[in-house]
Amino acid sequence: MSKMKIIYSLSDDTWNNEELEAIHKVIESCRFTMGPKTKEFEDKFAEYFGSKYAVMVNSGSSANLIAIASLIYSGRLNKGDEVIVPAVSWSTTYYPLFQHGLKLKFIDINLETLNLDIVEVEKAITDKTKAIFVVNLLGNPNDFNKIKSICDKYNLLLIEDNCEALGAKYNNKFTGTFGDIGTFSTFYSHHICTMEGGVAITDDEDLYHYMLSLRAHGWTRDLPEDCKLYQKSDNEFYESWNFILPGYNLRPLEIEAAIGIKQIEKIDEIIKTRRINASYFKKVFGNRKNIKIQKEIGESSWFGFSLILTNELEGKRNLILKELMNNGIEVRPIVTGNFTRNQVIRYFDYEISGELENADYIHENGFFIGNHSVDIEEKIDYLYTILYKFIS
């Protein structure tokens, strides 16, 4: 009997009967849209990450949207302001900036860490620069000592797209908690899974209240009685449909929140296993002549593993990817590669500061494979065997 072929997928399933039971309890309750389970999840999420406030929404993309919108409507940012962003990230890091009339200033990434190049940040700052939107790419923290120092020096807001880095730490502090607002994703392929879902966290009460209103139509219903944003009346009928902000409908489902409550209990074990897998991955691929892997800053939560082809392998990515896919190994670009090379950029108000040499390099020579919440040593060995058999 032949040995079963190994399938190395991008992600794995972190659910068991606990999540299924939580789903059934919500179904039995007949309360499906945002309600008490959502609030319970938010409280537990904020407590776990040491944040004062958390707002659950229907995706990490939506978390970015309410984060930027809250900064606009609170007057912290204004249309036309410049926001520094790395040239490599997911599309919905950038879209809310464009959608709210902000100017994006793209800078290159560091080829070692894959996060924004600290050296290039200060070069990009002008009198119009008001914020830095950092991305902890593939779970890897930024150098927040240096970034916070720059933000303090130039009086800049700091926003964190932490959607790929749940559970990562820098100086023993969770990423997503360094900025004015941090965003998370709980989509299926991420560290914890609520099917669809996202969270924005903050220690700023005013921004929290803005996000509560923006999440659900811009109405006042979900605001607390002592809210500074708006003085609620005691007329419950009136306040049920009273609108003060041009908001959205980004509400999560109670099923997603109920799943999330169970998933929070598993974070420690999930991150521990991902880091063990990463240690083995670094042992296998860390000193290869023609392949560069991501350099860890702080304690990465290792969303996945990047491989960048160098030297004799430069320009041979398509041949290698075809071989990997033919052997059951799922591959993807390193996020979007150089995002400015996507056609959607023609709609943006943007500027490129300096050259995007490193972003271009991974655009042409980089790819990404998955990490899981269970032991994948066998799959990493399989990847190595297929890859180097083909290369040789």
Residue 55 burial by Cβ neighbours in a 10 Å radius (0-12, 13-18, 19+): buried
Question: Edge-to-edge strand order for the sheet containing 291-292?
Answer: 291-292, 304-309, 366-370
Q: What is the pTM of this model?
A: 0.97
Token pair 């083995």 is found at 280
Per-residue pLDDT of the chain (392 residues; tens, 9 = 90+): 345 579 999 999 999 999 999 999 999 999 999 999 999 999 999 999 999 999 999 999 999 999 999 999 999 999 999 999 999 999 999 999 999 999 999 999 999 999 999 999 999 999 999 999 999 999 999 999 999 999 999 999 999 999 999 999 999 999 999 999 999 999 999 999 999 999 999 999 999 999 999 999 999 999 999 998 999 999 999 999 999 999 999 999 999 999 999 999 999 999 999 999 999 999 999 999 999 999 999 999 999 999 999 999 999 999 999 999 999 999 999 999 999 999 999 999 999 999 999 999 999 999 999 999 999 999 999 999 999 999 98
In this structure, which CATH number among 3.30.300.160, 3.40.50.10860, 3.40.50.1010, 3.90.1150.10 belongs to the domain 267-391?
3.90.1150.10
Cα separation, 253 vs 123, in Å, equals 44
> Residue 3 has what pLDDT?
53
> Residue 5 has what pLDDT?
78
> Residue 2 has what pLDDT?
41
Q: Is residue 190 among the annotated active site residues?
A: yes
In words, the CATH class of domain 17-264 is alpha beta
> Residue 392 has what pLDDT?
84
> Residue 163 has what pLDDT?
98
DSSP alpha helix (H) spans, the chain: 17-29, 36-49, 60-73, 91-99, 118-124, 144-154, 205-215, 236-240, 254-264, 267-285, 317-326, 357-365, 377-391
Which residues, in sequence order, are CB contacts of 47 under 8 Å at separation 6+?
A: none
Could you please report the per-residue DSSP string of 191-235? SS--SS-EEEEES-HHHHHHHHHHHBTTBSTTS-TT-SS----S-
In one-letter notation, the amino acid at residue 48 is Y
Map out the domains of the chain as residue ranges. 17-264, 267-391
CA 200 to chain centre: 11
Residues constituting the chain: 392
The distance between the two most distant Cα atoms of the chain, rounded to a whole number of Å, is 75
Cα separation, 164 vs 271, in Å, equals 12
Contact at 8 Å (CB) between 116 and 86?
yes
- The active-site residue, picked from 190, 191, 217, 372, is 190
